[in-house]
Structure 1
Amino acid sequence: MAHLLGAERLRLEYPTRVVFDGVTVGVSEGDRIGVVGRNGDGKSTLLSLLAGRLEPDDGRVTSRRGVSIGMLDQGDVLDPSLTVSAAIVGDRADHEWASDSRIRDVIAGLVSDIAWDAQLSTLSGGQQRRVALAALLVGDWDVVMLDEPTNHLDVEGIAWLAKHLSARWGSSSGGLVVVTHDRWFLDAVSTTTWEVHDGVVEVFEGGYAAYILQRVERDRMASASEARRQNLMRKELAWLRRGAPARTSKPKFRIDAATELIADEPPPRNTIALSRLATARLGKDVVDLEDIGVAFDGRQILDGITWRLAPGERTGILGANGAGKSTLLSLVAGSLQPTTGKVKRGKTVNVATLSQRLEELEGLEHERVRDVVGRLRTAYTVGDKDLSPGQLLERLGFSSAQLSTAIGELSGGQRRRLQLLLVLLSEPNVLILDEPTNDMDTDMLAAIEDLLDEWPGTLIVVSHDRYLVERVTDQQYAVMGGKLRHLPNGVDEYVRLRALEDDARSGSLHESSFQASNATSAAAPTASGLSGSERRTAEKELSAAERRIVKLEKEKESLHLQLAEADQSDYAKLGAAQSRLEEIADEVDTLELRWLELQEQLG
């Protein structure tokens, strides 16, 4: 593949540490690269070096003549005096940009809920970030670099972005480099993973799932001091392997090696034991919402919701921004009373909320971590072990030296972890996590998920990080149209339902903006890029593929049993069975690849 840009022997040093030392990497046509690593190890710095925004102390960055690079980093801001339309399409006439399918798709996918003539200074930080992302994506770039692009996007926005980036170039053209903590998004868009750590960049083949497998293998050969980290990655891999086919059927993912590696790995949670412990702590009654309705200023937010929380229930809540998720959480927490209906609460219920704001740390900036934690509890039970606050802090990525650090000197990710610890040490039996992934790197998210696996209480998670939601909860609900809707098929079902909603109102989106091109907008494809009949056909084929895979897996199990019981001297029978197993393996591979293609088409 043709070279686009690269770095040779990069070295970058700050007064207190060396960020990179002798790093050589390259981006070629067709590369889709996800960048992972701990907070502060240099992921964003690497993007800035490659994009030419930062000069290295030594080494050089080269690019092919004429290569265009588009980059959005976390600090990029647009002129607040601009309108949304001026920021995205400039001074082009409506008929010029409206005839470009890419621009229409970007606008519909990212800013359909923002007034076209609104001034950027009147928008929230999240809305401004989406406008900046849209302004970048409407351009024609050979290489796109994105630093945490999923921040401020909801679940369907993240799904749209993954689909857009996957279809933006042909398979052997263009280059993508993305830094993100969203592991579902990494698997959806990347075919190569760069891990930034300790001044170097390690290259792994495949997306996040393949990267985890290779890390496990690397850690297995490392020193004994890496044992706990290895076990955590094994647990992460075990969950990935048990998940949907999309996580495990990519050709580059070494399924046989993964299966052997995690053969004896138990499920991430002992659901029965946790439920028993939760019942002992909570009793049978937790929180019951009975025919709840909530209205603000004459607008109905929630209507007719009945939801009975059980001891040990682990539930993910999904919904678009403004759908009423925070209102629902406030009802459970008891900080809001319903307009209609009633809330029943068990006598022993103690609800704690990990909010998006760091309220637990307010006024403590000058105190040391050790002193703040020490005032709460001397021990905390995790599974069948009692851990000291210091041991818990270590489990959440703090070093012993950081125990003496003032809270005001901690990074955003460290503060977020400390906030979670303080919430857990208050011993709630109902825990609400409201967007808990902010400022977390992928390693720390895995550590927190591991900790939550052993937490014996009722857990409610609201997050746009679909990987986290699927990983730590056992069921999912969506707040849609003021109702609470169960999602038997999880996040994928939610994305499908939201796409159907978009289909129903397609043609009305941005009506005020498309005055001169309403006919063009009405004829645009649905959010998934498929017409209604095409979507139905694809869904039928997807369902048929799933049924066929299940049938073939059962046949494979039966053949393995026959081989075990067969006369080992009957070579004809053994050969026929082995031949059939090979046919099944080939067909399953083909079906899983087609399954992935259909999933991408359906969004």
Structure 2
Amino acid sequence: MAHLLGVESVRATVGPRILLDDVNLGIEDGDRVGVLGPNGAGKSTLLALLAGTREPDSGRVTRAGDTRAALLSQSDRFAPEATVRTAVHGAAPEHAWASDPAVRDIHAGLLADLDLDAPVSSLSGGQRRRVALAAVLTADADLVILDEPTNHLDVEGVDWLARHLSARFSRRRDAGALVTVTHDRWFLDAVCNHVWEVVPGVDPGGNRPQIPGRVETYDGGYAAYVLARAERARLAATAAAKRQNLLRKELAWLRRGAPARTSKPRFRIDAAEALIADVPPPRDTVELAAMATARLGKKVIDLEDVSVDYPDPAAPTGRREVLRRVTWRLAPGERVGVVGVNGAGKTTLLRLLEGTLAPTRGRVVRGQTVAVATLSQTTHELDPLAEMRVVDAVAMVGERTLVAGKELTAAQLVERLGFTRSRAWTRVGEISGGERRRLQLLRLLMGEPNVLLLDEPTNDLDTDTLAAIEDLLDSFPGTLVVVSHDRYLLERVTDHQVALLGDGALQDLPGGVEQYLQLRREASDAAQAASRQSHSAPAASARSGAALHAARKELARLERRLEKTTAHIDELNRQMELASAQVDVEQLTELGRQLARAEAEREELEAQWLQAAEAAEY
């Protein structure tokens, strides 16, 4: 693989603080790197160093040949007069980019609902973010650097982005490389083959020297990263028992959840199983349901034949129906995730459950003991508490609460969600966005609700904080409803999911989020097929028999190559199992490289097969 970029003994400082020191990294063709770390650790600074928009204070960043980098930062800057078209493609004529299948895919995935001639200044924040992402993805770059690319994307958008990036940055010559900061763990596992963890520095105070931040590297996606972290902690006999337990619990979820999450070779799975052999499932569903029934009784919240509509001058009737004749009964201890397209009614559904919205038709029936708490998307309710200390803002709601059968004080609960002693006594007005989100949840839990509604709870949170929140929610003995675009969180903390598909109905998803994505793909394919049939029938009928024969011949060729490559992968796995039994580290390493190349080849062949299959349909 061709070398693209190197980082040699780099130091980066912010004022007197050494943010990163002695960082040594390398990026090659086909690398897909996910960057993790707590807020403020230096992740965005690292990306700026890689992109060349910031120079290191010492050390150097080298680029091979004419390696070009494109950076998506967290702040979107567009010219005041820019349209969607010029923001993405500049002054390039349409024929120069419209004929490129990859560019058409980007338009379909990110810009399908936008007018290309609309001013960027007229767009919403989420739409502007998608335009900025499209501009970076269409740029002529060998190294694509993305800072939180999944922000403002729904489940469907994240799924599209993962498939697009995996296909583009496959392990082949001149594929280029990807580096992305993201807190979306499903996206990390689906896309990345390496993880860099930015470990923050420590200032011990006094006259003692500062411990600078560093970057630790791991092979594989998020699941492999959790495994390697747990292994390192175990081998080093770390004293941080609390953090270790969280990692082991997270690992237990990853191995016992959906299959094929880990991107480690199969010979590592035995090590994972041994590590979690004595770790129980994340939560005892039966016990939680019994506790919830005791607190709530048999009735929680029932939606009975509920419809909700809003005034809409563009609608034929002058009103738009968001929910249509929805009947839904929440059970004690039920843990349900809600997914859906933007504007389908997810927030409306939460407001009905919360009791702040009355239905247009139908009724909402509540149990007598129901106490609802809602984690909203904003944290404005903390603004009046700006002068209070964090621990006092929690204690004012309640001094003590029960978590997993243990009584915790406000200070203990604050510490459990990652506030150090110094941060626990910081003024609320001075804490970060992620810390405000954690404080918001702590105050809700301290009030001991029995129905908890979470609206996009992962905003501004790093992966360690998310794991701590999930651990806390595991012991919540009530009914939980989560609306989120974070697929990992939904599958981790809820037991089943439902979907709002934009037609007013609430649909159960026995197959989970994957079923929702399949339903959306089928709807999109049906719409495209109908459009092709109505607009392209003459062209389709005029297509020559020779061209159709060639397309089907190419499809058969790709199928044979796919079968051969799959057989080769199976053989490599068999050889790795033998080498693992013989503890032949050198052979395992070489076989691992061959396996990675073969799997990348299969990914590329599958993408080519899909294109060929579409061509052979006409």
Q: TM-score, length-normalised on structure 1?
A: 0.84
1:251 & 1:77 partners in 2: Cα distance? 42
| 3-state SS, counterpart of residue 280 of structure 1 | helix
Query: Which residue matches 1:116?
Result: 116
1:74 & 1:181 partners in 2: Cα distance? 13
Matched, 1:505 2:527: yes
Q: Is the contact made by 2:223 and 2:263 (CA closer than 8 Å) also made in structure 1?
A: no
2:244 & 2:100 partners in 1: Cα distance? 49
Q: Is the contact made by 1:205 and 1:252 (CA closer than 8 Å) also made in structure 2?
A: no
Equivalence map 1:331-370=2 (5 Å)? 331-370=352-391
Per-residue CA shift, 1:509-538, capped at 9, x if unaligned? 99xxxx99x989xx9xxxxxx99xx9xxx9
Shift of 1:331: 0.8
Distance 1:45 1:600, change over 3 A: farther
Distance 1:59 1:597, change over 3 A: closer
Query: Which residue matches 1:310?
Result: 331
1:340 & 1:187 partners in 2: Cα distance? 43
1:421 & 1:79 partners in 2: Cα distance? 41
Query: Which residue matches 1:576?
Result: none
Q: Is the contact made by 2:169 and 2:178 (CA closer than 8 Å) also made in structure 1?
A: no
Q: Is the contact made by 2:221 and 2:262 (CA closer than 8 Å) also made in structure 1?
A: no
Shift of 1:140: 2.4
Matched, 1:70 2:70: yes
Matched, 1:278 2:292: yes
Shift of 1:12: 1.3
1:100 & 1:593 partners in 2: Cα distance? 25
1:36 & 1:255 partners in 2: Cα distance? 23
Matched, 1:23 2:23: yes
Query: Which residue matches 1:488?
Result: 510
Q: Is the contact made by 1:316 and 1:462 (CA closer than 8 Å) also made in structure 2?
A: yes
Query: Which residue matches 2:304?
Result: 290
Shift of 1:336: 0.8
More displaced 10-residue stretch of structure 1: 321-330 or 252-261? 252-261
Shift of 1:115: 2.2
Structure 2 residue identity aligned to 1:21:
D
Shift of 1:471: 0.1
Structure 2 residue identity aligned to 1:273:
E
| 3-state SS, counterpart of residue 333 of structure 2 | coil
| 3-state SS, counterpart of residue 491 of structure 2 | helix
2:278 & 2:169 partners in 1: Cα distance? 41
Q: Is the contact made by 1:250 and 1:593 (CA closer than 8 Å) also made in structure 2?
A: no
Matched, 1:133 2:154: no
| 3-state SS, counterpart of residue 247 of structure 1 | coil
Select which of 169, 188, 192 maps to 2:194: 192
Equivalence map 1:458-497=2 (5 Å)? 458-480=479-501, 481-497=503-519
Query: Which residue matches 2:261?
Result: 247
Shift of 1:6: 1.3
2:38 & 2:386 partners in 1: Cα distance? 23
Matched, 1:257 2:302: no
2:10 & 2:37 partners in 1: Cα distance? 18
Structure 1 residue identity aligned to 2:484:
S
Q: Is the contact made by 2:97 and 2:103 (CA closer than 8 Å) also made in structure 1?
A: yes
Query: Which residue matches 1:180?
Result: 182
Q: Which runs of 4+ in 1 moved over 4 A?
A: 507-510, 596-603
| 3-state SS, counterpart of residue 292 of structure 1 | strand
Structure 2 residue identity aligned to 1:487:
L
Per-residue CA shift, 1:274-309, capped at 9, x if unaligned? 001111111110000011111111111110111000
Equivalence map 1:511-530=2 (5 Å)? none
Distance 1:49 1:593, change over 3 A: closer
More displaced 10-residue stretch of structure 1: 93-102 or 256-265? 93-102
Query: Which residue matches 2:5?
Result: 5
Query: Which residue matches 2:153?
Result: 153
Structure 2 residue identity aligned to 1:367:
M
Query: Which residue matches 2:407?
Result: 386
2:270 & 2:16 partners in 1: Cα distance? 44
Q: Is the contact made by 1:249 and 1:593 (CA closer than 8 Å) also made in structure 2?
A: no
More displaced 10-residue stretch of structure 1: 167-176 or 19-28? 167-176
Matched, 1:164 2:164: yes
| 3-state SS, counterpart of residue 461 of structure 1 | strand
1:93 & 1:18 partners in 2: Cα distance? 46
Q: Is the contact made by 1:33 and 1:190 (CA closer than 8 Å) also made in structure 2?
A: yes
Per-residue CA shift, 1:554-594, capped at 9, x if unaligned? xxxxxxxxxxxxxxxxxxxxxxxxxxxxxxxxxxx99x979
Shift of 1:30: 1.5
| 3-state SS, counterpart of residue 245 of structure 1 | coil
Query: Which residue matches 2:586?
Result: none
| 3-state SS, counterpart of residue 10 of structure 2 | strand
Structure 2 residue identity aligned to 1:493:
Q
2:508 & 2:364 partners in 1: Cα distance? 20
Task: Report sequence identity in percent.
Answer: 57
| 3-state SS, counterpart of residue 66 of structure 2 | coil
Equivalence map 1:399-410=2 (5 Å)? 399-410=420-431
2:346 & 2:454 partners in 1: Cα distance? 12
Gaps of 5+ in 2: 202-212, 312-318, 544-550, 571-594, 612-618
Query: Which residue matches 1:206?
Result: 220
Select which of 217, 233, 252 maps to 2:247: 233
**CA-atom RMSD, angstroms?**
3.0
Per-residue CA shift, 1:72-92, capped at 9, x if unaligned? 011232224211122122333
1:372 & 1:38 partners in 2: Cα distance? 23
Q: Is the contact made by 1:287 and 1:332 (CA closer than 8 Å) also made in structure 2?
A: yes
Shift of 1:477: 0.3
Shift of 1:223: 4.6
1:218 & 1:47 partners in 2: Cα distance? 26
Per-residue CA shift, 1:429-483, capped at 9, x if unaligned? 1101111101111111000000000011100001111000000000000001111
Query: Which residue matches 1:216?
Result: 230
| 3-state SS, counterpart of residue 71 of structure 1 | strand
2:161 & 2:97 partners in 1: Cα distance? 20
Structure 2 residue identity aligned to 1:339:
T
Gaps of 5+ in 1: 524-529, 550-588
Shift of 1:402: 1.5
Query: Which residue matches 2:578?
Result: none
1:80 & 1:157 partners in 2: Cα distance? 27
| 3-state SS, counterpart of residue 225 of structure 1 | coil
1:205 & 1:213 partners in 2: Cα distance? 11
Distance 1:501 1:598, change over 3 A: farther
| 3-state SS, counterpart of residue 344 of structure 1 | strand
Q: Is the contact made by 2:300 and 2:332 (CA closer than 8 Å) also made in structure 1?
A: yes
Shift of 1:68: 0.9
| 3-state SS, counterpart of residue 164 of structure 1 | helix
2:468 & 2:164 partners in 1: Cα distance? 31
| 3-state SS, counterpart of residue 332 of structure 1 | helix
Structure 2 residue identity aligned to 1:499:
R
Distance 1:471 1:282, change over 3 A: same
Structure 1 residue identity aligned to 2:302:
D
